[in-house]
Amino acid sequence: MTDRSRRACLITLLAFAAAMAAPAPAQTPASSWQPDIALAALTYPFTFVGYGDMRFTDPADTQHSNAAVRRAEIARIAEERPAFVVISGDLVLTGADAQDWKVFDAETAPLRQAGIELLPALGNHDVRGAEDRALENYFQRFPRLEGRRWYSARAGNLVIFVLDSNSPDGPGSRQWRWLEQGLEALPPDVDFVLVALHHPPLTRSHDKMFGGGHSPRPQEEQLASLLEKHEQSMRARIIVMAGHVHNYERYERNGVTYLVSGGGGATPYRVRRSAKDFYRAPGPTYHICNFAVDHGELRFQMLRLTFEDKQPRWTERDSFVLRSGEARQGAGRTLNVDNRSDCTVYSLGACRRPVRAGAPPWPLLPGCAC
């Protein structure tokens, strides 16, 4: 062996030794991970509601939002008394407008009176106008966020990551690294992960659709790839709930369930449906999403809101069950329990929950039957 060869081998050995001695990248151990918000202790099964795109504003403004829809949905949620509500953004029409927030305060009063906590994601309309003033209005309503534009929360076996898709959320961003670290440090007793944000990673809407719409953006599509990668090695099941598209959509890809819940009152958008979609109904879909979380099992139902003689009418139009860990029936599979369009019909004040085989153990109002 020549002197040059010996020097090359020595350099290689030294480099290998240095690499082996270098500390591993810092990770948060599962035992030390703590959420930003720890929700009150809950008994199983517990329920929560998800929806978004209300755009609270002057009730006389029917171009941008429907006040009757907003109020009916709030009344429904207050009546059901879920443990909390996750909002996928666009709480108000213009974040910097103090009057819009006063309307928000007035119309959401029944939720505060019922003691229901709100966990909001920032939508693009929530930072509309002078952003500093918009954020001041926003954080004034949600002091538990302590000025965080993205944050985590935990309720029993459910961990919630609320993202701010108005801030950088693509690969290498601070928010991306924060989310990835949280996913890697999930405690072993977590069965379900909800990722809430405004801009959808997966949607059939499009920027150029007649009547309005939004295409998925590259940064959220990359975010979806990150979640799907982690889902392959996780015990917990991941659900993504977004808004921005004023309608309802549900998809499943690589084990991750994607919801678009933008039916809170903002002017509806059309969505191009496919025969393979879980939800295929045409036209507007004002709605709320109900989640019931038990040990190892999560049940979901989407309740669509329509009006008959100016009275709200609620119809279950989509439902599914997810199971975590060993109880999972096939990796990456979403169990579609009952997707019939005429499954259950009931009206506010007459029936809180459907009576049918396999229904979640939610309470019924007196005389309720379907």
- Written as one string, the DSSP assignment of 301-318 is EEEEEEEETTEEEEEEEE
- Going by the DSSP 8-state scheme, the letter that residue 190 receives in this structure is -
Q: Is residue 239 part of a domain?
A: yes
Per-residue pLDDT band at 30 (split at 50, 70, 90): low
**What is the per-residue pLDDT for 210?**
67
Cβ(302)–Cβ(287) below 8 Å: yes
What is d(CA 239, CA 256) in angstroms, rounded to the nearest whole number? 6
Per-residue pLDDT band at 31 (split at 50, 70, 90): low
Could you give the percent of the chain with pLDDT greater than 70? 79
Average pLDDT (156-168) is 97
**What is the per-residue pLDDT for 331?**
38
Coil vs helix vs strand at 18: helix
Residue 78 has pLDDT above 50, yes or no: yes
**What is the per-residue pLDDT for 276?**
86
Sign of the torsion formed by the C-alpha atoms of 301, 307, 308 and 311: positive
Cβ(102)–Cβ(177) below 8 Å: no
**What is the per-residue pLDDT for 272?**
86
**What is the per-residue pLDDT for 355?**
33
Residue 342 has pLDDT above 80, yes or no: no
Average pLDDT (3-22) is 44
Dump pLDDT digits (tens) for 290-323. Answer: 999 999 999 999 999 999 999 999 999 999 999 9
Q: Is residue 22 part of a domain?
A: no
Domain extent at residue 233: 27-347
**What is the per-residue pLDDT for 2?**
53
Q: Higher pLDDT residue, 216 or 20? A: 216
Per-residue pLDDT band at 168 (split at 50, 70, 90): very high
pTM: 0.82
- Going by the DSSP 8-state scheme, the letter that residue 139 receives in this structure is H
Q: Is residue 157 part of a domain?
A: yes
The CATH number linked to 37 is 3.60.21.10
Cβ(78)–Cβ(110) below 8 Å: yes
What is d(CA 342, CA 317) in angstroms, rounded to the nearest whole number? 7
Residue 223 has pLDDT above 80, yes or no: yes
Q: Is residue 112 part of a domain?
A: yes
Q: Is residue 70 part of a domain?
A: yes
Per-residue pLDDT band at 111 (split at 50, 70, 90): very high
Q: Is residue 367 part of a domain?
A: no
Dump pLDDT digits (tens) for 238-256. Answer: 999 999 999 999 999 999 9
Q: Is residue 86 part of a domain?
A: yes
Residue 100 has pLDDT above 70, yes or no: yes
Any idea of the CA torsion for 253, 257, 260, 264, to the nearest 10 degrees?
170
Q: What's at 261, amino acid-wise? A: S
- CA 164, chain centre distance (Å): 12
Average confidence score pLDDT of the chain: 84
What is d(CA 229, CA 231) in angstroms, rounded to the nearest whole number? 6
Residue 83 has pLDDT above 80, yes or no: yes
Could you give the percent of the chain with pLDDT greater than 90? 72
Q: Higher pLDDT residue, 134 or 340? A: 134
Number of domains in the chain: 1
Q: Is residue 206 part of a domain?
A: yes
